Amino acid sequence: MNTDSSGSQPIPAQLRPDIKAVIYAAGTLTRWQIMSELSLGEQLAVFEIAERIGSSPNLVTQHLAKMRQAGLVVKGRNRLYQIPKQYLPVPGQRIVDFGHCLLRLDQTQ
């Protein structure tokens, strides 16, 4: 297995989300915007995400449900959402590494 350009350890195959699920779950601009906001490693509530991306909380909730189902995000305490830490190789940068694909989310608009 290769390491990514940040030098972090590769994600073992059994911990990678299914590539088809990633493609489906990341397949809209709204979901890319959500991932971009969460890619910095911060835990956010639905209303915070909605405010940041200029969307309704109901729509964000629907998108997050699909993203959770695919394993792209998790819901923690107090209904705060985040991308699992093992997928964030470079803290503070809008990069998500699912092992079989690397997303650079700095250009989402």
pLDDT in tens, 14-25: 566 677 777 777
* Domains and their CATH numbers in the chain: 15-104 (1.10.10.10)
Alpha-carbon dihedral sign for residues 5, 7, 13, 14: negative
Return the minimum-mean-pLDDT range out of 2-6, 48-52, 73-77. 2-6
Does the global pTM surpass 0.85? Answer: no
Q: Provide the 8-state DSSP code for 79.
A: G
In this predicted model, which residue has the larger pLDDT, 108 or 90? 90
87 token code pair: 């997928």
How far apart are the C-alpha atoms of 17 and 37, rounded to whole Å?
Answer: 20
Confidence at residue 97, expressed as pLDDT on a 0 to 100 scale: 87
pLDDT in tens, 35-69: 999 999 999 999 999 999 999 999 999 999 999 98
How far apart are the C-alpha atoms of 16 and 65, rounded to whole Å?
Answer: 18
